[in-house]
Amino acid sequence: MAIEMRARTGQSDVFSKCYAYTRVDKARAAGLYPYFIPIEGSEGTVVTIGGESKIMLGSNNYLGLTHDPRVLEAAERVARQYGTGCTGSRFLNGTLDLHLKLEHDLAALVRKEAALVFSTGFQVNLGVISTLIGRGDVVVIDKLDHASIVDGCRLAQGETRRFRHNDMSDLARVLNKDADHGVGRMVVVDGIFSMEGDVANLPEIVPLCKQHRARLMVDEAHSVGVMGEHGGGTAEHFGLSDDVDLLMGTFSKSFASLGGFVAGDRTVISFVQHHARSLIFSAAMPPYAVATVQACLDVLKAEPERRARLWKNAEYLKEGIQAMGYETGPCDSPVIPVIIGDEARTFVFWKELLKDGVFTNPVVAPAVPENTARIRTSVMASHTEELLSRALEVFRRVGKRLGMI
């Protein structure tokens, strides 16, 4: 009735964009809708979809710890001791001794004075960037930075500037723009770019930031637990932990849970702790999730061979995919994209892979640049060579069937 009345009066309707959005319905009608696929069961490297087993090549479970008995036991034990949730924000009643212990250990992992745990990684970037970048400040981001960084910049009251992906001359150009105006600036980059699989050029970014007196924040979501001698991320990998001002990470990948953290100088972390709205006005990370991360962190320290297996698997899958003639771009991580280009063709490819037993993630614009649609694959330490070989055979069979290789 309300819509009919607006139509008669000529009044615009905020729902009109919803009724005009037919893209999903068309994809479903064509049998090519690839998102929100319900998984009925999981063993980590193998999942059940539609009653059939599929090799999982679409998870960020890099260390393969989601089903580790030690991790499961820790989550269950803590849930029985603390309950299933904190029912309040960290600021008020939601801080547990578990949070403080985890923050201490995370700070030690990434070699910073202090760390602060949020309920999601997305909230970390929203809270940190919007809190630190005030009026008159500038935040400089890579054009392929994660959406949470972009949205954090949108919430900030300062100005946002972008530089071409991993292009150091363009970063220098952007930083030179107001070099003599005393403007406060912070550069924010992904450590591993989640859709490209390549790594931020920190050895050149760090000196540029120092030269232009800009702070540096690195999003280690896909690299903490994966890169570095102790799993501290790209900053540790390059020996630059002391030169990066802020490091953030998430728990929904290597740490088999959900949540996120930021680490840096104690004074800066305290300021964020008392000003970040996404922390203060959100329910605290639940106890069992904290226990999961703590258990994963303990395994990370005790079993460095797990990371070695992860990298061995990544090389095996990447070399196998490249040997068939697929384009993977400059990936140098456990994230291995198979770049198709055309969106419709990518969806068909995804469907055929799934039908033949391999779960992957199709990624299209705006998550990636136009005409670079891709199948995003990622490996785990727990994948066996036999499973990866079977997955590669599916890529070969489907690629030939569709005329892609």
pLDDT at res. 5: 52
Position 4 confidence tier, pLDDT thresholds 50, 70, 90: low
pLDDT of residue 154: 98
Rounded to whole angstroms, the Cα distance separating 376 from 196 reads: 9
What is the rounded CA–CA span in Å between residue 162 and residue 218? 15
pLDDT tens digits, 29-65: 999 999 999 999 999 999 999 999 999 999 999 999 9
Amino acid 192: pLDDT: 98
366 upstream amide cis, omega within 30 of 0: yes
Give the separation between CA 259 and CA 294, rounded to whole angstroms: 12
Measure the N-to-C terminal CA separation of the chain; round to a whole number of Å.
55
Please report the pLDDT score of residue 381 as a whole number: 98
User: In this predicted model, what pLDDT tens digit does every residue of 229-262 receive, in sequence order?
Assistant: 999 999 999 999 999 999 999 999 999 999 999 9
Q: What confidence score (pLDDT) does residue 252 get?
A: 97
Set out the domains of the chain in order of their start, with CATH numbers: 32-61+304-401 (3.90.1150.10), 69-302 (3.40.640.10)
Please answer whether residues 260 and 117 qualify as being in contact, where contact means their C-beta atoms are separated by less than 8 angstroms. yes
> Looking at residue 181, what is its pLDDT?
74
Q: What is the pLDDT of residues 65-79, one digit of tens each?
A: 999 999 999 999 999
**Phi and psi dihedrals of 18, rounded to 5?**
-70, -45
Q: Write down the pLDDT at residue 241.
A: 97
Which of 327, 279, 318 has its CA nearest to residue 103?
A: 279
Q: What is the pLDDT of residues 116-175, one digit of tens each?
A: 999 999 999 999 999 999 999 999 999 999 999 999 999 999 999 999 999 999 999 999
pLDDT of 9 above 70 = no
Q: What is the pTM of this model?
A: 0.95
| 329-363 CB burial, b ≥16 within 10 A, e <16 | bebebbbbbbbbeebeebbbbbbbbbebbbbbbbb
Q: What is the mean pLDDT of the chain?
A: 96
Active site residues: 194, 222, 253
